[in-house]
Amino acid sequence: MKSCVFLAALLLTVWTAVQAETVTHVTRQLTACQNNGTLPEDDYELDDDELFHIDFDKKEAVPRIPDFAKYWSISEGAVARAETDRQTCIHNVAGYAKCHEYPPEEQDPPRVTLFHENDLELGKPNTLICFIDGFHPAAIKVTWTKNTLPVTEGVSLTQYYSNKDFTLNMFSYLSFTPELGDVYSCQVQHSALSERLTTFWEPDVQTDSDVGETVFCAVGLTLGLLGVAVGTFFLIKGNKCN
């Protein structure tokens, strides 16, 4: 049980017709709060993708992808309802935790995947994406290094998002310019891990010298095989003459 955590989710199934086939879409409102100091959340999702979430500090709704926001609208009163849900959540967490005699939180360790956003080209700005998935509770620390040195410039971190099993996921981004020989790492610290989880990444791009060496090896191999074929031909022909 995700103890000391209250997750209130509202599921609504919407049916639409696309090319004479019935397609099911699921929208979900998720209100989450915890008693361990982690910031509360209230977000709205469509088919496991977030549409928008509520920024409680700024008291506004924030679209996950602003360019898509023109295809739908945020209902009036969404921020006020989210604040009401947050207060209800906080009240319920305290009551549920006391009712269950403050059981320990379930510990699910994170999994990390590290990849680049755009096609990789040395010397061209790009973005490294660190995807952290399947963890619980929400408290987590994500840091970056370049050649073993800490990096803070160009780093951003999303809020956490919920999975269907109510574990969590989040993204961390690092703006960078790939150069040959550089080694980056995304480091994650979490209560379910016995030690810091470090995932490394380095550019894997063929340089001009690599291409030249590949061509040279290919030509050498071709000539070698040709030599073997010619030698075999004359050997067979010589045996027939004998």
Task: Tell me the pLDDT band of 123, cut-offs 50, 70 and 90.
Answer: very high
Give yes or no: residues 96 and 124 share one domain.
no
Last residue of a domain, one of 41, 68, 100: 100
Residues 30 and 53: their CA atoms lie apart, in Å, by 9
For 117-203, strand residue ranges (E) read 126-135, 141-146, 149-151, 155-157, 161-162, 168-176, 184-189, 197-201
Whether residues 134 and 156 share a domain: the answer is: yes
pLDDT of residue 140: 94
pLDDT value at residue 231: 61
CATH of the domain at 61: 3.10.320.10
Question: Mean pLDDT score of the chain, rounded to an integer?
Answer: 81
**Residue that wins the pLDDT comparison between 232 and 154:** 154
Residue 59 backbone zone (phi > 0: left; psi -120 to 50: alpha; other: beta): left
Q: Which residue has the higher pLDDT, 184 or 238?
A: 184
Percent of the chain with pLDDT over 90: 39
Mean pLDDT over 77-100 rounds to: 90
Q: Which residue has better confidence, 212 or 116?
A: 116
pLDDT score of 240 more than 80 = no
Domain shared by 159 and 96, yes or no? no
Statement to judge: residues 157 and 193 lie in one domain: yes
Range of the domain at 81: 27-100
Domain of 155: which CATH number?
A: 2.60.40.10
The larger pLDDT score, comparing residue 238 to residue 88, is at 88
- List the structure tokens of 46: 């469509």
Statement to judge: residues 127 and 194 lie in one domain: yes
